[in-house]
Amino acid sequence: MNLKKLAYELRLDVLELIRSAKAGHIGGDMSAMEILTVLYNKVMNISPENQNDPNRDYFIMSKGHSMEAYYAVLCRKGFMEIDDVVANYSRFGSQYIGHPNNKLPGIEMNSGSLGHGLPVCVGIAKACKMDNRPSRVYVVMGDGELAEGSVWEGAMAASQYNLDNLCAVVDRNRLQISGSTEDVMHQDDVGVRFAAFGWNVITTAGNDTDALEKAFAQAEKVKGKPTVIVAETTKGCGVSFMENQAGWHHRVPTEEEYELAKKELREKAEAC
Ligand SMILES: Cc1ncc(C[n+]2csc(CCOP(=O)(O)OP(=O)(O)O)c2C)c(N)n1
Ligand SMILES: [Mg+2]
């Protein structure tokens, strides 16, 4: 499977979802796209066929505002129909809401209030160990999200319980809702902080599917401690006029911007 191409194709689905709903969080969708694409298509043992098997892997999208990227990946994996989601996304009464809804197939946990995914994953990973299950547990967090204190309580507990079946990914795009993460709540070296909490740390290029594949394979080999992958990404990745712009955290493209973005993403998909 050509994962690089797939990530661009899924970005086109994101664009359709946001155009239809006239709402969404496009910047963080685009930065997380390779992370989700690699996880769902190369790394995790999760599919519509095994979604109720306790031995499956578990995934939580802790940066729940990046829901359009999550819908795109889940639909391509066969959990939902993209045309149905596009037609009903964000409509009154629809289950396809702007943040993860665990009433929908493939979604384990409601999220959107930042800072809860990692602590919940600690509980899931601990339970898997207690039951001697082979499952691995994955969580994707934003870098702005790391300002939530609950993340660090979870980080402490994960190393206390030697949760080597837990892998956290930080979408390190250096922006949050209102500007640079370094201005809002500076982080120095995120990896050093996790290491101080007893984690194995892998820093890698987060919009590069090959680099991510390697990082996840490395994480799986580490015993006795949880791993965090600090994925260095670009917010808005793939659409040049959206890249590294805080304003595109949740701006909705105009029709003209939509056409421009679509053209660029199509060209990039075709070039892969
Ligand atoms: C507890 C909580 N506080 C505030 C918000 C509002 N909020 C939504 S997205 C966001 C910024 C998140 O930034 P980051 O985690 O870096 O996400 P990304 O850059 O990947 O979009 C904030 C503050 C929230 N969803 N939850
Ligand atoms: Mg961010």
Q: Considering only CA atoms, which residue is closest to atom 21 of ligand 1? A: 28
Per-residue pLDDT tens over the stretch 77-121: 999 999 999 999 999 999 999 999 999 999 999 999 999 999 999
Residues with CB under 6 A from ligand 1: 25, 27-28, 31, 63, 65, 112-115, 142-145, 148, 171, 173, 175-177, 235, 249
pTM (predicted TM-score)? 0.98
Atom in ligand 1 nearest the alpha carbon of residue 28? 21
Atom in ligand 1 nearest the alpha carbon of residue 173? 19
Burial of 147 (C-beta count, 10 Å sphere; 0-12/13-18/19+): middle
**Cα gap 182→179, rounded to integer Å:** 9
**How much is the pLDDT for 1?**
86
- Computed over every residue of the chain, the mean pLDDT equals 97
Residue 62 sits in which domain range?
Answer: 3-271
Overall number of domains in the chain: 1
Crossing angle between the packed helical segments 149-160 and 117-130, to the nearest 10 degrees: 20
Per-residue pLDDT tens over the stretch 187-236: 879 999 999 999 999 999 999 999 999 999 999 999 999 999 999 999 99
| CATH, residue 72 | 3.40.50.970
Crossing angle between the packed helical segments 67-76 and 26-38, to the nearest 10 degrees: 40
Three-state SS at 21? helix
